[in-house]
């Protein structure tokens, strides 16, 4: 890893092409069709560029941070996602009512929903993302695979959609166990099941179909070869409307639980210069074949032998985009807006230079062992800062995390001249961050930063499963620390009732209460 001059230690380095030099001025008014940290992230770039923003919000988000920084606010009404951030009709009306000419969908919710993109296009709204035509080509997992295969990108052997349980077992037999049954229209790590026997293939076909029907509205299932302990590596790209595709390098996202990423970094220890070029070439070919525009990510699985296979395209700004921003100094949201408003990219490939190393820890409001989400009020929040530290979060002291949405409450990212410096900074930042009121994934990240395998870069997508049992021992250790702090707090701040082990409390409490009453009524 190249060493850098010390003045490059900042959170997001100088944008190579300042916004004032962008070809055309941005006369845009943007509806933010999302919430939380990503809404705030988008608003920040808009304010920098002078783009006016309207924040759409649901009832529970009335007091949320993005509303304070947007130029205007628009109440969607309702609390559940389907009443608010998933309502195509309400969001389009919000944009039109407030005179917006563009919509940024963030990630999740309607970010990859072709009916929403179509509704925007039909109403003359500039959707900050791919066109509905490109979305269609990559619309579901099977059609995306087909598009990639035709473009010459290696894909994991798969077949489907399968008709029924027997068909699923037959196809699985042909492909060879273990296989993974996937919902064709699935996403976000849901609608996937691993089968090791024909019995499981039959059983899981039904389960996956049902799960897919309820979650995605369609029950199509296909069967894919299950790679043993692969790594998850992805290429971030930005594509303009003239067929130019610029790669911003790879990200490593193998630290996952239940197919959901928990920690991401850029670059990847598993990718050498030769492999990097192969991945970038494959990603560019695939995106070009799909006629893709705007920011997109091509995900690959990397097996032990160094072979790679296309996994899927994320057709949106991603949660983990910030690590790429930290290693390239490029504001990806700005590129998205520039592409949407001018058709062209603000950067060219030879301007992109990956420097140093960045790591992102997803801080979720959930139990670190069970991953059970835990909404609640954050009575105190203190984010870490300092050289090479970036926190993307919409938290503040007193904020109540609603039960209706994602459990991600903060993205804590650090940059270092090399991976070990990024890890050291992360250790420090994890010690500094204070989130009081809800359990979070912080103890798991603390454990990872001290974990031999993680520090050595020796891990794959199954790695976290091996770390989790150690979380129990770790939490027992933390419990002892808690016992220490509780005991010393008790010494300095004794309880306000007198307690006796033989039960002498009552008389004293009564006497004290009588005393208080006397004082109050002036006896």
Partner 1 sequence: MRTYRVQINGREYTTSVDQKGDGTFQVTVDGEVFESEPLTKGNISTWRVRSAEDSINAQTRVLPTDKVDVWLAGTPFQASVQAIGAGGYTIPTQGIGRSHLSGDICAPMPGRITSILVKEGESVDVGTPLLILEAMKMQNEIVSPVAGKVKSILIEEGVVIKKEAVLVIVK
Residues catalogued as catalytic: 316
Name which of 255, 252, 276 is nearest 357 in CA terms: 252
* Alpha helix stretches (DSSP H) within 360-417: none
Tokens read off for 386:
């300092």
Residue closer to partner 1 by CB (options 210, 484) is: 484
For the range 187-194, what are the long-range contacts, defined as Cβ-Cβ under 8 Å and sequence gap of 24 or more?
Answer: 187/112, 187/216, 188/108, 188/260, 189/256, 189/258, 189/259, 189/260, 190/215, 190/259, 191/215, 191/216, 192/259, 194/226
> Could you tell me the smallest distance in angstroms from the CB atom of residue 504 to partner 1?
8
N- to C-terminal Cα distance for the chain?
79
> Could you tell me the smallest distance in angstroms from the CB atom of residue 68 to partner 1?
25
* Per CB under 8 A, 479 contacts partner 1: yes
Among 446, 460, 461, 467, binds partner 1 (CB under 8 A): 446
* Per CB under 8 A, 327 contacts partner 1: no
Residue with tokens 């609390």: 79
Alpha carbon 48 to chain centroid distance?
23
Residue closer to partner 1 by CB (options 458, 479) is: 479
Residue closer to partner 1 by CB (options 228, 491) is: 491
> Could you tell me the smallest distance in angstroms from the CB atom of residue 480 to partner 1?
5
Q: Restricting to residues 150-179, name those near partner 1 by CB under 8 A.
A: none
* Per CB under 8 A, 441 contacts partner 1: yes
> Could you tell me the smallest distance in angstroms from the CB atom of residue 470 to partner 1?
14
Among 386, 488, 506, 517, binds partner 1 (CB under 8 A): 488
> Could you tell me the smallest distance in angstroms from the CB atom of residue 319 to partner 1?
19
Whether the Cβ atoms of residue 337 and residue 27 lie closer than 8 Å to each other:
no
* Per CB under 8 A, 498 contacts partner 1: yes
Among 274, 480, 522, 523, binds partner 1 (CB under 8 A): 480
Q: Restricting to residues 376-435, name those near partner 1 by CB under 8 A.
A: 379-380, 430-431, 433-435
Residue closer to partner 1 by CB (options 120, 449) is: 449
* Alpha helix stretches (DSSP H) within 50-113: 65-69, 88-97
Question: Backbone dihedral region of 217: left (phi > 0), alpha (psi from -120 to 50 degrees) or beta?
Answer: left
- Judged by DSSP in three states, 156 sits in coil
* Per CB under 8 A, 499 contacts partner 1: yes
* Per CB under 8 A, 485 contacts partner 1: yes
* Per CB under 8 A, 368 contacts partner 1: yes
> Could you tell me the smallest distance in angstroms from the CB atom of residue 262 to partner 1?
14
DSSP 320: T
Give 3-state DSSP helix, strand, coil % of the chain, rounded to 5: 40, 20, 40
> Could you tell me the smallest distance in angstroms from the CB atom of residue 321 to partner 1?
23
Among 437, 449, 461, 464, binds partner 1 (CB under 8 A): 437
Among 124, 217, 495, 522, binds partner 1 (CB under 8 A): 495
How far apart are the C-alpha atoms of 401 and 408, rounded to whole Å?
10
Tell me the Cα Rg of the chain: 25
Q: What is the dihedral of CA 363, 364, 367, 372, to 10 degrees?
A: -160
Q: Restricting to residues 197-236, name those near partner 1 by CB under 8 A.
A: none
Residue with tokens 């039109």: 96
Q: Restricting to residues 347-366, name those near partner 1 by CB under 8 A.
A: 363
Tokens read off for 282:
């494959």
Among 44-52, 308-316, 317-325, 437-445, which window interacts with partner 1 (CB under 8 A)? 437-445
* Per CB under 8 A, 510 contacts partner 1: no
Question: What residue ranges bind partner 1 (CB under 8 A)?
Answer: 363, 368, 379-380, 430-431, 433-443, 446, 475-502, 508-509, 511-513, 515-516
């Amino acid at each position: 890893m190249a060493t850098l001059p010390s003045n490059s230690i900042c959170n997001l380095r100088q944008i190579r092409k300042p916004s004032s030099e962008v070809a055309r001025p941005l006369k845009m008014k943007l509806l933010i069709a999302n919430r939380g940290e990503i809404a705030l992230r988008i608003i920040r770039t808009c304010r920098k560029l002078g783009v006016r923003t309207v924040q759409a919000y649901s009832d529970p988000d009335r007091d949320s941070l993005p509303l304070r920084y947007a130029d205007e606010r628009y109440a969607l009404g309702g609390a559940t996602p389907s009443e608010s951030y998933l309502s195509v009709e309400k969001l389009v009306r919000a944009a039109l009512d407030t005179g917006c000419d563009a919509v940024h969908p963030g990630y999740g919710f309607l970010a990859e929903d072709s009916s929403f993109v179509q509704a925007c296009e039909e109403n003359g709204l500039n959707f900050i993302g791919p066109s509905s035509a490109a979305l269609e080509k990559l619309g579901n997992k099977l059609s995306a695979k087909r598009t990639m295969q035709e473009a010459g990108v290696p894909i994991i052997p798969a077949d489907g959609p399968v008709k029924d349980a027997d068909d699923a077992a037959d196809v699985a037999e042909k492909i060879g166990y273990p296989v993974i049954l996937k919902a064709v229209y699935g996403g976000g790590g849901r609608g996937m099941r691993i089968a090791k026997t024909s019995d499981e293939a039959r059983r899981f076909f039904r389960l996956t179909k049902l799960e897919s029907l309820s979650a995605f509205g369609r029950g199509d299932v296909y069967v894919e070869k299950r790679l043993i302990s692969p790594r998850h590596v992805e290429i971030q790209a930005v594509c303009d409307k003239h067929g130019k595709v610029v790669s911003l390098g790879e990200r490593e996202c193998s630290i996952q639980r239940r197919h959901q990423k928990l920690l991401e970094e850029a670059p990847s220890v598993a990718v050498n210069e030769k492999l990097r070029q192969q991945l970038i070439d494959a990603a560019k070919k695939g995106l070009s074949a799909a006629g893709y525009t705007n920011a997109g990510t091509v995900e690959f699985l990397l097996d032990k032998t160094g072979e790679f296979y296309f996994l899927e395209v994320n057709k949106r700004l991603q949660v983990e985009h910030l690590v790429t921003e930290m290693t390239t100094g490029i504001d990806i949201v700005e590129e998205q807006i520039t592409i949407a408003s001018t058709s062209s990219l603000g950067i060219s490939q030879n301007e992109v230079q990956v420097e140093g190393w960045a790591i992102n820890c997803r801080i979720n409001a959930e139990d670190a062992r069970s991953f059970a989400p835990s909404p609640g009020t954050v009575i105190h929040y203190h984010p870490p800062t300092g050289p090479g530290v970036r926190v993307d979060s919409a938290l503040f002291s007193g904020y109540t995390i609603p039960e209706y949405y994602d459990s991600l409450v903060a993205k804590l990212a650090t940059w270092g001249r090399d991976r070990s410096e990024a890890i050291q900074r992360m250790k420090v930042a994890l010690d500094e961050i204070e989130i009081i009121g809800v359990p979070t994934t912080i103890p798991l990240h603390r454990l990872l930063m001290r974990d031999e395998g993680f520090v050595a870069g020796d891990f794959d997508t199954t790695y976290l499963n091996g770390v989790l049992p150690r979380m129990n021992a770790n939490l027992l250790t933390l419990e002892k620390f808690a016992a220490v702090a509780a005991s010393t707090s008790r010494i300095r701040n004794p309880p306000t009732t007198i307690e006796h082990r033989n039960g002498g409390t009552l008389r004293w409490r009564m006497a004290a209460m009588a005393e208080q009453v006397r004082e109050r009524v002036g006896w």
